[in-house]
Amino acid sequence: MLCSAPAGKSASNWLDRLRSNRGIPTGDDLDLDSFLANYPDPTSSDSFHSISQHTHSTKNRTRGSEISAADARPTMSSVLAELFNVGGSLSRSSKLSGKKCPRKQTNPKSFVASSSLRYSSSIECCARKDENAPATNSSNHDAAELKEENLDCCDVEEEKDNGGNELRGFSKSEVTVIDTSCPGWKVEKFVFRKNNVWKVRERKGKSKFFAKKKSKGTFGFDNHHNTAVQKKEHKHLEYQFDSSLEKDREFITPSTLVRAFIAFLYFAQIFMIS
Amino acid sequence: MGPVRGLKKRRNPEKNHDENGSASLVPSKEGPLDWWIEFSKRINGHQQSPPKELDNFESVFRISRRTFEYICSLVKDDMMAKSAHFVFTNGKPMSIYDQVAVALRRLGSGESLVTIGDSFGLNHSTVSQVTWRFVESMEERGLQHLQWPSTEAEIISIKSKFEKVRGLPNCCGVIDVTHITMCLPASEPTSNVWLDHEQNHSMILQAIVDPDMRFRDIVTGWPGKMKDWLVFESSNFYKLCDKGERLNGRKLKLSGGSEIREYIVGDSGYPLLPYLVVPYDGKELSEPKMEFNKRHFATRMIAQRALTRLKEMWRIIQGVMWRPDKHKLPRIILVCCLLHNIVIDMEDEVQDELSLSHNHDNGYHQLICGAVDVNGASLRDNLSLLLAGRLPP
C-alpha cells in the first residue's frame, strides 16, 4: 500500500507532493544518501509496500547501522557515478584520497546495469589498467618500461599454463606467417618469448581454446591458458567486447529508471534551494 | 640479356585468357572503356571539388589500363561469384571493374574506408568487404608472380643482371627487411611483442629481391620485436639453403682452385653465411674490402628501392595502421607484393615515373648481427679479391 501524503501537507509544494506519492521522505533536511542506502532494488522480490516501511524506519537507525548499510548499498554519489558513467571519479575512495579527477572519462565504457557481476569485473579491469597506464606526461622511455613491466606480469600468468619446463616463463603469442618458400605459404605459429630468447612452434591443429576464441571475435593474439587463467581472460574478453556485443541491448532497466528519477529529484532540490 | 622473365610474364595474361575462357574481360554489358567513363563521372560526382587528376585512369590507380584489365581477369571468377549484394549507395550493382577499382584504390591510396566509400558512392562496409575478397582472391590467383626462379634461364638472367649492376658475380638476390608500422593499444600486454627496436609497433616484411626489383621470396607476419637475423633464420629459405636445396646452382670456378657459389647479399643485420654475404665491418678497412663494400652497398640499394616503391605504390602499408588484425595484415602485405610484381611483370609504363628513393624505413637504424661463418668469410674474401683484380677469374 502506498503511503499517502498527510492532510496537513496538502498545501506544500509539488516536490513534496511528488515525494510523498513515491514514498520518499519530505522536508529540507532529508538524507538522500541514507534513504538510498535502504532503498531496495525494485527488480528484487521486495514489494513496493516494503519500500515505504524501510523509508519510515530510516530515521530510527543507529549510526552504526547506517555505516554498515552504506557499505552494503551504493551511496547517492556512487549512484550518480554509475548513472553518468564517470568511472571512479565520484567514488568515495577518490574523494578521500583528495585527488582531483579529470573531467573526461579515462576509460569510457558501456553501462550495463542489468549485470552487476560483470559490471564490477569490468570496473576492476579498468582500474587495473589505470594503475598500469603510463602517465600522460611521462617520457616514451618510461612508457616502454611500464609496458615491459606489464609484459612481465603477463609472463608470470602464462608460466603456469605452459606446463612444459622448456617453455616455462615464456610469453606465448600466435602469429600468422606468410613464407613464400613454404609449400603452403601461410602458416600459423606460436611465438614464445622470454626477453631476447625466442622459440617458434608450429601450430598443430586447432586447439579447443582457439575454436572458442574464434566464436568470440578476432584478436591479434591468443593466449591459451589453463582454466583459471582462461576464466580471467574470459572476463577480460567480455570487457573488451562489451561495446560490440552489448550494442543492441537495452541498457536502461527499471532499477536504472528509479535511480535516475531519484537523481532528478536530488538535483531539482538543489536547484530549488539555490 | 633481355628481360627473359618479363617477356614470359607478359605472355601469361594472354595464355590465361586462352586456357580459361572465363577470364574474358567482358564480365558485364559494359566494356572497360565505357566502364571508366562512367566510373570517373561517379568519382567526380562524389567529390565536392573534383581534382583534375581524377579524370585520368593512371592518376587514380597508378597502374596502366592494361595491368588493370589483367588483374581483373585474375580475380574475376572469385569476385563475381557472390557479388549480387555489392551495390553502390544508389542501388546499382558493382561490376568486376568497379570492385577491382575499389580494392586497388583502398590498397593503393591507404585512405580510410569512409573516405573511399564517400568518393566512390559506396558504404564503407562494402569497401571493406570488396577489398578483403580481392585480397583473398589475389593470394590464390596471383601466386605465380612471386616465386623463386625455377628455371636455369631465369637464374642465369638474374646473375647476369646483378653482375651488370656493380660487378658482383654469381649473386642471386638481395635480402632486406622493412617494418609495417601499426598503432596498437599500449595497455595491452600482448602489444609489447610487436614493439620493435625503434619503439614502434610493427610487423616485419623480409624480402629477397631480384635485379628488376621483383620480390622473389617474402616472409611476413613476424612481430617487430624479432631481429632481422631471427626472422631470416626462421624462414624456409634459410632452411632450404642450409640443406643445400637452394642457392645450389652452378659455381663460378676461379683459377686458384677456389670457387664462388651462388649467394645473396644483405646488410649487417644478417649473419655472414656461406650463402649470405654481408659487408665488412670496421673503419680501417683495406682497399679491396672498401671497394667490395661500395659495390655491395650499391647492389643492396636495389632491395631498398623495391621496398620503397612497394610502400609508395601500395600506401595501405606505408603509414601507421590503426589496430589492424594481425592475422589479416600479412595477407594484405602479400597481395601488395604480388601487385608490385605484376606491375613489373606487365612492364607497366607507370613504374618508369616512380621515384627511385630508397628510404623505406624512415627512422630505423641499422642493426648489427655480427655472426660470422668461416665459409662465408672465405667466400666474401674471394669476392673482394676478385673484384679488386687480385684474383684472376
What residues of B are in contact with residue A173 (Cβ under 8 Å)? 190, 193, 223
Interface of A with B (CB under 8 A): 129, 132-134, 140, 143-144, 147-148, 150-151, 153-154, 171, 173, 175-182, 185-186, 188, 191, 193, 198, 200, 218, 220-221, 223
Whether residue B369 sits in one domain with residue B307 = yes
For residues B14 and B9, give the distance between their C-alpha atoms in angstroms, rounded to a whole number: 9
The reply to whether B7 falls in a domain is no
Look up residue A60 and give its amino acid.
N
Residue B23 lies in a domain: no
Shared domain for B372 and B224, answered yes or no, is: yes
Contact B223 A175 (CB under 8 A): yes
Query: How far is the CA of B258 from the CAs of B92, B385, B393, in angstroms?
Result: 69, 12, 10
CA distance B215 to chain A (A): 10
Does some domain include residue B270? yes
Number of domains in chain B: 2
> What is the spatial distance between Cα B115 and Cα B127, in angstroms, rounded to a whole number?
10
Are residues B280 and B257 part of one domain? yes
Please name which of B130, B183, B140 lies closest in space to residue B321, comparing C-alpha atoms: B183
pLDDT tens string, chain B, 393 residues long: the values are 444 444 444 444 444 433 333 333 334 445 666 788 888 888 777 665 555 555 688 888 889 999 999 999 999 999 888 655 789 998 889 999 999 999 999 999 989 999 999 989 999 999 999 999 999 999 999 999 999 999 999 999 999 999 999 999 999 999 999 999 999 988 887 888 899 989 999 999 999 999 999 999 999 999 999 999 999 999 999 999 999 999 999 999 887 788 999 999 999 999 999 999 999 998 889 999 999 999 999 999 999 999 999 999 999 999 888 889 989 999 999 999 999 999 999 988 777 766 667 788 888 888 889 899 999 999 999 999 999 887 666
For residues B382 and B355, membership in a common domain is answered with yes
Q: Which chain B residues contact residue A132 at CB under 8 A?
A: 187
- Quick one: B303 and B202 in the same domain? yes
Single out the residue in B144, B161, B183 at which a domain terminates: B144
Out of A177, A182, A218, closest to residue B330 by CB: A177
**Residue B338 forms part of a structural domain:** no
Angstrom distance (rounded) from CA B149 to CA B320: 33
Q: Is B156 found in the same domain as B293?
A: yes
Q: Which residues of A touch B143 (CB under 8 A)?
A: 185
Which 343-372 residues of chain B touch chain A by CB within 8 A? none
**Domain end point (choices B144, B169, B194):** B144
- The boundaries of the domain holding residue B219 are 148-325+348-387
Q: Which of A126, A142, A181 to mutate to test the interface with B (most CBs of B within 10 A)?
A: A181
B175 and B284, same domain (yes or no): yes
Task: List chain A residues with CB under 8 Å of B235.
Answer: 179, 181
Phi and psi angles of residue A91, each rounded to the nearest 5 degrees, phi first: -70, 160
Q: Give dist(CA B112, CA B89) in Å, integer.
A: 17
Whether B84 and B161 map to the same domain: the answer is no
C-alpha cell at B357: 628513393
- Which of A147, A150, A175 lies closest to B326 in CB terms? A175
Q: Is the domain of B39 the same as that of B135?
A: yes
Does any CB of chain A come closer than 8 Å to the CB of residue B191?
yes
Does residue B286 lie within any of the structural domains?
yes
Residue among B276, B284, B189 at smallest CA distance from B228:
B276
Q: Does B140 touch chain A (CB under 8 A)?
A: no
Pair B104, B71: CB distance under 8 Å: yes
pLDDT in tens, chain A (274 residues): 444 444 444 556 777 777 777 777 666 665 666 666 555 544 443 333 333 333 333 334 333 333 343 444 445 555 555 555 544 443 444 444 445 555 565 555 444 333 333 333 333 333 333 333 333 333 343 334 333 333 333 332 333 344 456 777 788 888 899 999 988 888 888 888 887 788 888 776 544 333 333 333 322 323 333 333 333 333 332 323 233 323 333 334 455 566 767 777 777 776 665 5
pLDDT tens for each residue of A107-165: 554 443 333 333 333 333 333 333 333 333 333 433 343 333 333 333 323 333 444 56
B234 has a chain A CB within 8 A of its CB: yes
The grid coordinates listed for A204 are 598443430
Question: Of B144, B173, B190, which marks where a domain is finished?
Answer: B144
User: In this structure, are B221 and B268 located in the same domain?
Assistant: yes
**B192 has a chain A CB within 8 A of its CB:** yes
- ipTM for this model: 0.86
Element (H, E) at A188: strand A186-194
pLDDT score recorded for residue B388: 86
What is the rounded CA–CA span in Å between residue A262 and residue A19? 10
Contact: B331, A150; criterion CB under 8 Å: no
Q: How far is CA B286 from the centre of its chain?
A: 36
CA B276 and chain centroid, separation: 20
Helix (H) or strand (E) holding B276: strand B276-277
Nearest chain A CA: its distance from B231 CA (Å):
10
Is position B21 within any domain? no
Angstrom distance (rounded) from CA B393 to CA B391: 6
- Per the domain annotation, does B87 fall within a domain? yes
Residues B217 and B310 in one domain: yes
Specify whether B139 is located in the same domain as B155: no
